[in-house]
Structure 1
Amino acid sequence: MSARSSEERGVVVIGLGRFGSHLAGSLLRLGHEVMAVDRDPARVERWSARLDRVVQADATEEDALRQLGITSFGRAVVAIGASLEASVFTVLALAELGLPQIWARATSRRHARILSSVGAHHVVFPEAETGERVAHLIVTRMLDFIEFGDDFAIARVPVPETLAGRPLSEIRPIERYGVRVLGAKVTGEPFRYASDSTVLPPGSTLVIEGNIDQVQRFAGLS
């Protein structure tokens, strides 16, 4: 694989705990080259049969990362969660090597600030984000929910019974409910983008967007 294609497609995942191992597997399924790195030999052995390239190394050491050829990759994800120190020093080592995109997992706001200050370009909170998403699914009728910040969300919801069989031009969801219907999915049929003439069949699901309160209220319609 050329250096350019590695930069475009390849991702280094450092830390093969629960988050890192699932992330590495998902990236592989999406067709990306993945190099997985962990200092624990037991984890390396466990995942070597499931991932294309798994190596044992201390990722806090800049020289170790350089010897692995990390600089030929354009993106790295520091998925370490158990050790704040190892997480921070790994991000620092990657920054010193000049990686153009460094993603890092944080376990607290303070941790996130430190990661950003030493070179992380993107910081994620997988546990907090998953917990919030699942909370919305538990207490509402939403089937899926993604929050984008600035009080904006996209959700997948069942068609409310009172709206089934009616066209969007009659329902006027933006005026009445403050949400936009992006599309509808009927079981056994492909997803269809919505227009004013779209009729909402009973038993179908909708993809809607709006602020969080409006999306929740629409999902609660019976």
Structure 2
Amino acid sequence: MSEKIEVGVIGLGKFGLELAITLRKLGHSVTGIDSSEERVKAAKPYLAQVFEADGTDPQTLEQLSFQDFNYVVVSTGDSMEASILVVLNLQEIGVNKIWVKAISEAHKKVLSKMGVDFVVFPEHFAAKQLAHKLATPGMVEYLSMGQDILIKEREAADWAGKTLIDLNLTNNYQVQVIAIRKAGSDDLDFVPKANDPLDKSDVLIMIGQRENLLKLPD
């Protein structure tokens, strides 16, 4: 497992709570706060450290040692003003790494100008994921890397008996096979051997630009 980190999560709505729970499952330490008693109660079964507190109060953040965490994630619902105030307070008490959920493009722009380390716009990202999934058969995931980088699945089918060396997908299509999944299995063989013949039912997991993935024969 990677090195254990300590993360503070301010705002335990759907996004914040899901993030906190996932981090805990990955073995990391999470402290969550929210001003809503109901949300705090909902989080208690999943988080060892959860408090009903106001994230816009710098003294509260300091008392809960947010300045000592490796990362602090701000997910304060629909209030752009509250989010910005929380970020200012975190910067004031010396938090090193601040990640923030944006609620609009304007919010994202302001946060970037404030020097926030990472800004995520979940609705925007989810919309792109869905659009690419609808438009690209076999797409597994859209990666936001400044270009339309996708991960796509394809059964070996007519490639059966050939090796990755034979297919030469990197040079022919500028596409890279990053894993292979055998039929009936959920396990992935990452960085597969290039000289092993493919079975007809093998599923190739490939990464590349959308336009290149679409050039692959069906």
How much has 1:36 moved relative to structure 2? 0.6
How much has 1:179 moved relative to structure 2? 0.9
Residue 102 (structure 1) aligned with residue 98 (structure 2): yes
Percent of aligned pairs sharing the same letter? 30
Residue 145 (structure 1) aligned with residue 133 (structure 2): no
Residue 49 (structure 1) aligned with residue 45 (structure 2): yes
* TM-score normalised according to structure 1 size: 0.87
Q: 1:72-127 deviations in whole A, cap 9, x for unaligned?
A: 21210001231111111111111111111000011222101211233421111112
Aligned to 1:90, which of 86, 89, 95?
86
Structure 1 Cα separation of the partners of residues 160 and 107 of structure 2: 48
Question: Could you tell which deviates more after superposition, 56-65 or 195-204?
Answer: 195-204
Q: 1:51 to 1:77 in 2, by over 3 A?
A: same
Q: 1:121-159 deviations in whole A, cap 9, x for unaligned?
A: 111111211221232223323251231423252514022
* Pairing 1:185-200 to 2, within 5 Å after superposition: 185-187=181-183, 188=185, 190-200=188-198
How much has 1:8 moved relative to structure 2? 5.5
* Pairing 1:34-45 to 2, within 5 Å after superposition: 34-45=30-41
CA RMSD of aligned residues (A): 2.1
Determine the structure 2 residue equivalent to 1:3: none
Between structures 1 and 2, the one with greater helix share: 1
* TM-score normalised according to structure 2 size: 0.88
Q: 1:51 to 1:119 in 2, by over 3 A?
A: same
Q: 1:87 to 1:190 in 2, by over 3 A?
A: closer
Determine the structure 2 residue equivalent to 1:159: 155
Aligned residues: 214
The residue type paired with residue 69 of structure 2 is F
The residue type paired with residue 210 of structure 2 is I
Residue 116 (structure 1) aligned with residue 112 (structure 2): yes
Determine the structure 2 residue equivalent to 1:4: none
Structure 2 Cα separation of the partners of residues 140 and 212 of structure 1: 8
Give the conservation status (yes or no) of the 8 Å contact 1:143–1:158.
no
